[in-house]
Every structure is written in C-alpha cells, then in structure tokens.
A and B are shown apart, each in its own frame.
Chain A
Amino acid sequence: MNRRVVGVVVAVAGAVVCVLLWRAGQASWQWGLLPWLYLVAGLIAWDRQPRNRTGVLLMLTGVAYLMFLFEGPHVPPLLWTIGVAFELAYLPALVAVLLSFPGGRLTRRWEQCAVLAAVVAMLCWTTIPILGTDPSDLGCSDCPPGLNLVHASPDVVSRLDRIYAAFPGRVYLMVPMLVGLAVVCVVRWWRASRPLRRISGPVLVAAVPLLLALSAQMIANSLKLYDTHPDVSHAINLVAMYAGLVHPVAILIGLSLGWARQARIGELVTELAEHSGLDLVERTMARVLGDPCLAIGRWDPSARRYLISTGADLPDAGSAQSTTYLEHDGRPMVAVVHDRALLDGGELLSSAGAAVRMAIDNDRLRAELSTQLAEVRASRSRIVVAADNERRRLERDLHDGAQQRLVSLALDARMAAAKLEAGDDPAAADSVAAIADGLTTALAELRELARGIHPSILVDEGLVSALRSLSERSAVPVRLLAVPPGRIEPAIEAVAYFVISEALANAAKHASAEEVSVAVRRVDGRVLVEIRDDGKGGADPEGSGLRGLADRVAAVDGRLRVDSPPGRGTVVFAEIPCVS
C-alpha cells in the first residue's frame, strides 16, 4: 500500500487514541498532543526518507510519551500498569533521537552504550519494581486492582526491591545523563561542518532547553519542590512540557533543511553530466556539500595512486577529515577527502558519491570514445593511402611486367612479318614460336596479377580452396592446420585470406622462415586466424604492411596482434567477429 496512505491512517488512528486516552485520564491537553506530534513528525520523516531511521525513532518516542496518558482512574488496569512500568521509556527514545540525528543511526559504540544505559535505567527504576508491586503497598486509591502482574512470591518481590534499592536514585543518574546529552548536542553543533550546523541548529535550540528542563524537573521532584514551592515546580513542568512540544517540530524543520540540501544533489548531477572535468566536479561537490576543503582524486592505474586535477597526489585526510573511496566494477575510481562531519549526513555523501561516480564514468566513456574516434579517423585515412599505394603498385606491376612483355612481342611479331615478306621462312617460324612462348608467359603474369587484386577462387570456392591454392604457390612450405569447411561472410573471408597471404609473403620475404603453419577457426561467433612462422622474428607491427593489415581487420571490427620476438619466429593473430 502507498506509504503516504499508511501514514495518514496511522496519524488519524494516533489522534483518536490520544484523544480517547486524554479524556480517560487526568493529563492536560498538552500531554495528549505531545505523543501525537512525535508520531506525525516521525511519519513525515519516514515518508520523505524511509531509509533514515529518525522517522521511526520519532514515532517510538511518540509511543513512549503515550505512557503518560495511561495513568488515570478510568484506564484499564493492564494499560495503567504498562503506563507506570514504561513511564520512563521516553528517556532512551529521546537519547536515541538526539544522538543519531540526522542520520537516524547510532554509529559510535558510546552512543549505543548511552541508549542501552537509558534502557537499563528505565527498567530498574520503573519496570522491574512495578512488576512485583501490590497496589495496597502504594497507598494509591486510584490504582486499579491486580497490579502485581507477575503474582510473585514475597521472596521475589523483596529481591526486586533490593535491585531497585541498589540502583542509585533517579536524580543522581538522570540529571548528569540529561545535562551530558545537552553538552554533546552543543559540542556536536559547534564542531559540525557548515551545512550540518544548519540542519542541527533548530534541533539544538529545542533540545537543550528540553534536556535542561527535564533535569530541573528531576531535581525539583527530588527536593519535593511540589510541596514547598508549588509555583516553581509548576513553572518547571510547563517549560519541560512546551520544550517537549517544540522538540519534534524542530527535528522536522532540521530534517527538512537536509532534504532541501539533498534536492541540490539533483543540481549536482545535472551540472556534472554537462561538464565533467575533475576540477569542476570537485568545486561543485565542495559547494553543494558545504565543505570548501573537499578534494577529489582520480585513480591513475599506471601510477597506482589517486591524482587530483593538477596531476599532484591526493592529500591525506587531516584529523577532522575522512576519505571516501568510490569504486567502479570493483576497480578503484575516485577518492574524496572531505570533512568527517559529512559522514553524519545520512545518505548525502553516498548520493553525492553516486553523482560523482556517474560523472567520472561519463568522463571516462567520453575519453574512450574520442580515442576510438581518433583511431577510426586515422585508420580511415590510412585505408585511403593504402588503397592509393595499392593502385600505384598495380600500375607499376602492369608496366614492368605484362605491358613490357607484350610490347616486346609486338616488336617481334612485326619483325617476323618482315621476315615472311622477305621470304625467310625458317627465321620467321622461329620468331613466331618465340612469340607464342612470350604470350604464354605474359598470360601467366597477368593471371598472377589478377589473383593479387582479388583471388577468384576465394569468391567461387571459398576459403579452403583459396588457402590450399595460396599455400601451393607459397615460396615457404605451408602447413594448413585448420580451416572451417563452410562458407563465411565474403568480407570476412577476404580479410582472413589477405591476412594469411600478407603473412606468408612476409615470412618468405623478410623472416627467412623455413615453415609456416596456418590455422583458421570459428569460435563463439568469431573467426580466429593464426599464422605462425619459424623465421627470425623482430617484425615491426607499425610497419606499413602490418599496419595496413591491422586497419583492414579493424574495418570489420576485428583486432590484429603481432607477436614477433627477435630470433623466435612471428605469430600473426587476427580475431574477427562473424555473426553468420
């Protein structure tokens, strides 16, 4: 069910309970309002921030204050007893609310001990004694019958009495506790960072008078001022009551100031998403969190240190500071040195951390993207240059090879014709035979050239036949270890073929290899091509041939790796994604 509906229902129910109990009891209307105010403040806080336990603690405090309404002539005996037994339940609740503000969690050991001490005090002063008490002992005419809840034997009762007697009087323990709590509140406020001070300011203003008034009340009761100076006693009671009424409202105001600050995290996220230079992230986070000394360092994987925007090391946290480390996929990403008080800010730091993480992530992705873009641009222009070079090479091959041969043949043919004209038949016959041989050679050269441009066997019969043909013509013996039998996408086949063809040419021309092994495998939607020779190694992956191959492989989203340690052969490895 909607949280807000639950809240409204509980608030209305609380109001009904308060009114009913107030009418049944003897308490003034302020005592009827007090628990309900805490309840409503708690519900609002819970609605706004379900993970912050302050809301729940405020509601519990409301329930604790409800105990005061349980005392009265028309209250059922069980409720009456519970009311008396937990009369002091507001004490641990109040301690917990104040010490855990604003995060709603008791993070330090002594804070937890303080709450526990308050619980123990409550049990020893009121809960334990009342369990074994007989109404007649109290001399209480209004008290309902059957108060001795445990129906304990006199033996047990006397033991409970001894525990009660052994425990110091309320005034000796509670007054130092309440005054100490007031001092802690003031000290915390004094030490807090600027934004935290703003949040806890209203709470301080309400809590200190309340705690002091409760202490005064305690002392006044101990001195029995209600008999000697009823006016003073009444005045103290009034201050305590009104301070109690103001307290939940003040807490709500303090929390709402925090919510307003948290809303500014949205602003932080937007700003960081727009420009995500590290220095800007740092400035924005310092401003939003109100910590001018905040510093952010980005993890440098090569230096293995956190570096700030200027490139210097991130300073160590000072005595009043703390360092929060943000990770990405388990890897260190960013460290933030900040005021220790920000740790008390509940989810604030983690929200800001998430924003920073996102911004830094964006920054990283942007950097990666621009690197990739630069790489694509560079490889695009290299592909154009490579294509131009290829055309120039073709022109030169044609010029130096087949064209020269054909021109010579043309001259020879013309000469043969002249010989025939002169009637020198035997010489003409020799010339014609030489011309026929020349034509055969020229044809073979043209065929080789055409195959270099694009091998027709690859298109017609696929990689297996093309690689067999290539290895038969190779100057170095080739062992074909594996070639996938079926057809692959033509563009991928061509890339694989040219990688192998270039690697074989390199093995013969530059590596002085004695044997080359070739393997082509299809694994998980990828084509893996490996050419391994036993030559002298030391190939330069940045040389124009291998660079051109890498570009060719990259053009189909693949990767080329060349491993060529001097004297230990060369391995060319291409990995090409292939969906079909």
Chain B
Amino acid sequence: MGAARILIVDDHVLFRSSVRRMLESQGFVVIGESGDGSSAITAVRTLRPDVVLLDVQLPDMNGFEVARQLAEEPDAPAVILTSIRDASDYRTRLIGTPARGFIPKAELSESRITALLARAQ
C-alpha cells in the first residue's frame, strides 16, 4: 500500500494547517480539508480518501454522526476521530462508533495513526 491519502475535517483553520504540516512531514498525503460535517461527506464522495481525520466537535453536526454516515458510503474510508478533549469525555459514544479509533489532538502523531490503521486491518 502506498502513502495513505488523508482528508482533514476540523473547524479550526490553525489546527488544520498544523496537522497538515505534521502529516505531510511524516509521509502522508493530505488530499483535502473540510470545516464542517456536511462538506466532509461531500469531500469523501468526490476525493475518495483512505483515511478521514475527523474532529468530534463540528459546527453543524458532531463527528460521531459524520462517522456513522461515512460508514454507510460504498468503499467507506477509515475514520479516525480526534478532539481537544480526551477519550474519557466520550466513553459510550466511542464504543458504538464505526470509526477506527480515537486520538486526542495533543497526542496526534504519525505513529499513533499508523498503529490504529494497522490494528484495525
């Protein structure tokens, strides 16, 4: 498998640019950015990413809902949820989600993402 093609979904521009720089420096290919849930779904249909890095708190709908809708797409991408909060804030919702996993924003790194993707496969 070649470098994973990633879509970043987050409403904070600053965070998107930081995480894009980090991911690109680690060898990922960032194919697009979205600021909210609905534009993320549209972007997934057009760009067909391998991975979606999805913030939980979005202005129009929450990340769990976006993940649920993405899972119903044909050839659904792997979804990695992320948030400024840590996992303990989302206990039950994390258990029921079709997403691959959750990484707090402060702990985002290439190794954590790769580990999640590898584990799930």
Contact = CB atoms under 8 A, between A and B. Distances in A.
Contacts of A414: 22, 109
24 contacts: A403-B84, A404-B84, A407-B15, A407-B105, A407-B106, A408-B12, A408-B14, A408-B15, A408-B17, A408-B18, A410-B105, A411-B18, A411-B19, A411-B22, A411-B105, A411-B108, A412-B21, A412-B22, A414-B22, A415-B21, A415-B22, A418-B25, A418-B26, A419-B25
Interface of B: 12, 14-15, 17-19, 21-22, 25-26, 57, 84, 105-106, 108-109
Q: Nearest 9 A-B pairs (CB), nearest first?
A: A408-B18, A407-B105, A411-B18, A404-B12, A403-B84, A408-B14, A411-B22, A415-B22, A408-B15
A399 B14 contact: no
A246 to B, nearest CB: 101
Given A399-B57, A400-B12, A414-B109, A407 B22 contact: no
Contacts of B22: 411-412, 414-415
B15 A404 contact: yes
Contacts of A409: 18
A405 interface: yes
B25 A410 contact: no
Given A399-B84, A410-B106, A411-B108, A404 B25 contact: no
Nearest to A419: B25
Nearest to A401: B12
B94 to A, nearest CB: 19
A76 B9 CA distance: 130
A410 B82 CA distance: 15
Interface in A409-467: 409-412, 414-415, 418-419
Given A412-B22, A415-B22, A418-B25, 9 more contacts: A399-B84, A404-B15, A405-B14, A408-B18, A410-B106, A411-B22, A411-B105, A414-B22, A415-B25
Report the contact-size class of chain A (Cβ under 8 Å from the partner): 10 to 19
Nearest to A398: B84
Q: Is the interface of B mostly helix, strand, loop or mixed?
A: helix
A329 B18 CA distance: 74
Contacts of A403: 84
Contacts, number: 41
A404 B21 contact: no
Contacts of A407: 15, 18, 84, 105-106
A354 B84 CA distance: 72
Nearest to B82: A407
Contacts of B108: 411
A543 to B, nearest CB: 24
A400 B12 CA distance: 8
Interface of A: 399-400, 403-405, 407-412, 414-415, 418-419
Nearest to A427: B25
A411 B17 CA distance: 10
Interface centre among B12, B18, B25, B109 (most CB of A within 10 A): B18
A404 B104 CA distance: 12
Contacts of A399: 57, 84
B5 to A, nearest CB: 20
Nearest to B85: A399
B12 to A, nearest CB: 5
B14 to A, nearest CB: 5
A413 to B, nearest CB: 10
B47 to A, nearest CB: 23
Interface centre among A399, A405, A407, A410 (most CB of B within 10 A): A407
B54 to A, nearest CB: 15
Nearest to A424: B25
A399 B83 CA distance: 10
Interface centre among A399, A412, A415 (most CB of B within 10 A): A415
A554 B28 CA distance: 59
Contacts of B15: 404, 407-408, 411
Nearest to A405: B14
Nearest to B107: A410
Nearest to B26: A418
A430 B14 CA distance: 17
Contacts of B12: 400, 404, 408
B106 to A, nearest CB: 5
Contacts of A410: 105-106
Contacts of A404: 12, 14-15, 84
A410 B57 CA distance: 19
A233 to B, nearest CB: 121
A412 B19 CA distance: 8
Given A399-B84, A407-B105, A418-B25, A412 B57 contact: no
A38 B109 CA distance: 118
Contacts of B105: 407, 410-411
A419 B21 CA distance: 12
Contacts of A418: 25-26
A18 B105 CA distance: 118
B18 A412 contact: yes
Nearest to A422: B25
Contacts of B109: 414
